[in-house]
Structure 1
Amino acid sequence: MSQAAVPLEHPLERCAAAVGAAIDAASGSQPHFLSTAAKRDVLLGLSRQIARLEGLRMAVLAAAGDVAEADAARSTGAWLAVGAGLERPEGRRLERLAASLEGRYSALREALLDGDVSRAQAESIAAALDELPSDVESSVRAEAERHLVARAAEFGPRELRTLGRRVLDVVAPEVADEHERRALEAAERRAHRRMRVVRRALGDGLVRITADLPILHADLLSTQLHAYASPRRDHLEGADRRDPDTGERIPYPRLLAQAFCSLLERLPTQDLPRQGGSAASLVVTIDHDRLCADLGAARLASGHALSVGEARRLACNAGILPMVLGGASQPLDVGRAKRFHTPAMRTAMAVRDRECRATGCDIPAAWCEVDFP
């Protein structure tokens, strides 16, 4: 009589079952009854075991391509994100880390399995090692890996990422300077390709401007804004950092926004690029009678409206051209005796037309060329 074969249980299956059983046994206990020293030991012990479990999960995930294929998932990371209730970016990060540990960084993999590094530390170390130049010798890369793993006992993920950027200074100082030069030049090229400024109207008089800038120019802007918003200027300018309506102290982000506005209003137009034949200037148009009566609204060349009080304030600043309709300031007073348009003519046409006069074209007037028949 034949005996049915008993399927063998894999050690990883036994581990998952044993972990579940241990958690079931401990879940009803009350941690409040632990002593201070015991709480410390349990917290550190659980954190270490969690790191070891993460190491096991990374090992299985690296070998789970057949699972994603069987379930028609896009990738193992995407499959795990759905099955484990994770965010999709988290699933992708886990998949990348699993591939790095399995294929490139054996010392880091063993440290995670031993609980000597946390998953967050492992991600930082792997990212730093990935950023090393491709021509670094394998022995140097392995030494860098061992060095960063050893430093994990002292430093957290953020510090390890910082140390990783300069790890060649320690393990291979003879090539560190050249690597830094090439890394900086590559980062600057990427920054210039990816930099952008996006404007979006929020309504209620606000516009959101989002800027992705190279580090140099972001630091230049921050330095200038901090100079305007510095508390040391208060005694020089009599500035009051309290909101006149509420009496509350103005938050520093709003102070920086005020500084940004002040900086823009004080830019010398003679140093700006010429646009359409004249220096880039903001034109504010208002009827003379309304200006005197403090009624109605002023208009920008873009068509947006301003209060009369704001227009009067702007009229005192360089780079703002107040165009008062009526009297000698009327655009009609600009002569046409010359063959080519004057800057005054161009300004008048920009205010009048606001955009290209060609049928179906709506580009701003500042981008257009002027041509008189």
Structure 2
Amino acid sequence: MTAIATPRHRVTAATAQMRSVADSVADASVWSLDADQAHTTLVELTRLEAQVAALKLRVAAHAESVDTRDATAAWAHTTRQTPRAAKSQVKLAQALEAHPHTADALATGHLNLEQARVVVHAVDQLPDTVGPELTAQAEEHLVGLAADHHAGALRILGRRLLEVIAPDLADAHEAALLEREEADALAACRLRARFDDHGRLVGSFVLPHLHGAMLLKAVTAFAAPNHRAATEGADAAKQTAGRPTPERLGRAFCELLERLPADKLPKAGGTNATVVVTLSYETLVGQLDQAGVILDTGHQISPGEARRLACQAAIIPAVLGTRSEVLDLGHQTRLFTAAQHLALALRDRGCTEPGCDAPPWRCHAHHDLEWSNGGPTDLANGRLLCPRHHHLHHRHQPTKPGYHPRI
């Protein structure tokens, strides 16, 4: 008896035909397509791609429901997809069964796969108080918008769905979404950091949007061309035009940390969160530049950097004698007060280095007779220096002895 072959399902047959047609043009040259033909063909191929994707998802959802094995894992293995990608597609396929309008638009090529994901997610985010009729209306509205908006814009519009279908519920729903998003972002907040063997702290972080925006605005201000010109010279303005580079943002981050007001930070172990620098008296007064300066973290910085910071930043110099006994444990009263800063600003009207026009708010308060040499923290011994000239003063010699306030 001759066995009767099981007739092929029309989806299986159509798939084979599409494969055959694709094979027939696999090596076809496209150089003779003119601009209009190329554009039209590209659009049609994109729509075909959406239709094939819709059919694939339908078959994937069906296979998952009828196969006693792990159909998704077998599909991923055979087609060399990652299990995660295959599971994501099956999840979307199952979701589309509850969103027929989106599934139909994808199957006809009027919606691409990325847009379909956005529509499904936006509709599923609607509150339970929205009934089936309004939910269907919301889905239809968003699918209609997809004709003129890509997935990114559609995602934004999807968050405003209630304003269209149920304005009276929109404000409360938006507030709930934002609160949930902020709570999730705070829960995901992370900071990982470690010191490497090259004098650097390396790591990564995750911040909520608000705090990320605050950080970017702060470092961008320090990386701005005008600020860089004031701190690094006029030529820096030309070199720092345009979008800040990662290097510029990194240096700006360093400057931001140096300018944090230590007296406003929470106390740790009974003291403000400051850095203790251990150095010899000769190093502090500039008579010794060879040895490294030890931080309380166990790392080292150069003597010039230590002397610069001792004039402005929140460090505590622990000065050692020849037998490493503590000669003096400095305190932060050496820093000029806010009132003194204001008085210096009114008097000096900016950086006191000749030819520098940095305004007062960009300047550091500097001891003319260095604090390490017994110089008092008072107006007679103080003057304003921009960060660039402050660096130069401590790393080299002052470009001019004494100073003359601006007239």
TM superposition score category, shorter chain reference: 0.7 to 0.9
Report the secondary structure of 2:257's partner residue: helix
Shift of 1:264: 0.7
Q: Equivalents in 2 of 1:159, 1:236: separation in Å?
A: 40
Structure 2 portions without partners, runs of 5+: 333-407
Deviation at 1:120, TM superposition (A): 1.1
- Cα–Cα, structure 1 residues 27 and 333, in superposed 2: closer, same or farther, change >3 Å? closer
Partner SS state of residue 311, structure 2: coil
Structure-2 separation of matches of 1:133 and 1:43:
39
Partner residue of 1:322?
Answer: 317
Instruction: Return the offset for 1:202.
Output: 4.2
SS of the residue aligned with 1:283?
strand
Q: CA-atom RMSD, angstroms? A: 2.8
Aligned partner of 1:266: which letter?
A: R
Q: Which of 103, 107, 111 in structure 1 is aligned with 2:105?
A: 111
Q: What residue is the counterpart of 1:270 in the other structure?
A: 263
Q: Within 1, Cα distance between the matches of 2:53 and 2:83?
A: 18
Whether 1:279 aligns to 2:278 is: no
SS at match of 1:293: coil
Does 1:219 pair with 2:195? no
Counterpart amino acid of 2:253? F
Tell me what 1:125 maps to. 119
Asked if the contact 1:233/1:239 (under 8 Å) is kept, the reply is: no
Contact 2:123/2:135 (8 A) holds in 1 = yes
Q: Secondary structure at the match of 1:5?
A: coil
Instruction: Supply the distance in 1 between the matched residues of 2:321 and 2:187 (Cα, whole angstroms).
Output: 48
Over 3 Å counting, the alpha-carbon distance change for 1:333 and 1:297 in structure 2 is: closer
Specify whether residues 278 and 234 from structure 1 end up closer, same or farther in structure 2 by C-alpha distance, changes over 3 A only.
Answer: closer
CA distance in 2, matches of 1:211, 1:231: 26
1:305 Cα offset (Å): 1.5
The answer to whether structure 1 residue 30 and structure 2 residue 29 are counterparts is: yes
Report percent identity of matched pairs: 34
**Most deviating of 308-317 and 55-64:** 308-317
- Aligned match for 2:224, one of 230, 240, 254: 230
Question: How many angstroms apart in 1 are the aligned matches of 2:224 and 2:114?
Answer: 37
C-alpha spacing 1:15/1:241, structure 2 compared with 1 (3 Å): farther
2:19 counterpart residue number: 20
Give secondary structure in 2 for the equivalent of 1:218: helix
The farther-off stretch of 36-45 and 80-89 is: 80-89
TM norm structure 1: 0.80
Name which of 147, 158, 162 aligns with 2:152: 158
Once the two structures are superposed, residues 19-60 of structure 1 have per-residue CA deviations (whole angstroms, 9 ceiling, x without a partner) of 111112222321112222222221111111110000001101
Shift in alpha-carbon separation, 1:202–1:42, aligned structure 2, 3 A: farther
**Cα displacement (A) at 1:87:** 3.4
Quote how far apart the aligned CAs of 1:67 are.
Answer: 7.3
1:209 and 2:228 are equivalent in the alignment: no
Instruction: Give distance in 1, aligned partners of 2:328 and 2:229.
Output: 47
Aligned to 2:134: 140
SS at match of 2:222: helix
Give 1:295's match in structure 2, choosing from 264, 284, 290: 290
CA distances 1:222-253 after superposition (whole Å, capped 9, x unpaired):
2211221222335555645759xxx8989522
Q: How many aligned positions are there?
A: 327
Give me the whole-angstrom Cα distance separating, in 2, the residues matched to 1:202 and 1:57. 49
Query: Quick check: 2:228–2:240 contact (8 Å CA) kept in 1?
Result: no
1:358 alignment partner in structure 2: none
The one-letter code of the counterpart of 2:245 is Y
Contact 1:281 1:320 in 2 (8 A): yes
TM-superposed deviation, 1:272 = 0.6
For 1:195, give the aligned amino acid.
Answer: C
Post-superposition CA distance 1:333-352 (Å, at most 9, x none): 77xxxxxxx99xxxxxxxxx
1:15 aligned partner, one-letter code: A
What amino acid does structure 2 have at the position aligned with 1:43?
A: L
C-alpha spacing 1:305/1:333, structure 2 compared with 1 (3 Å)? closer
List per-residue Cα deviations over 1:170-223 (Å, max 9, x = no partner). Answer: 122111111001111111222222211110334422222322111111111122
Instruction: Report deviation, 1:135.
Output: 3.3
1:95 paired residue among 76, 90, 103? 90
Corresponding residue for residue 190 of structure 2: 196
- From the superposition, tell whether residues 256 and 122 of structure 1 become closer, same or farther in structure 2 (CA, over 3 Å): same
Instruction: Check whether the contact 1:323–1:329 (CA below 8 A) recurs between aligned residues.
Output: no
Indicate the residue corresponding to 1:312 in structure 2: 307
How far, CA to CA, are the matches of 2:111 and 2:22 in structure 1?
22
Rounded to whole Å, the distance in 2 between the matches of 1:81 and 1:288 is 69
Deviation at 1:85, TM superposition (A): 2.2
Could you tell me whether the CA contact under 8 Å between 1:323 and 1:330 is conserved in 2? Answer: no
TM-score (norm 2): 0.73
**Matches of 1:127 and 1:29 in 2, distance apart?**
39
1:68/1:79 contact within 8 Å kept = no
Q: Which residue of 1 aligns with 2:63?
A: 64
**For the residues of structure 2 that align with 1:15 and 1:201, how far apart are their CA atoms?**
60
Residue identity in the other structure for 1:8: P
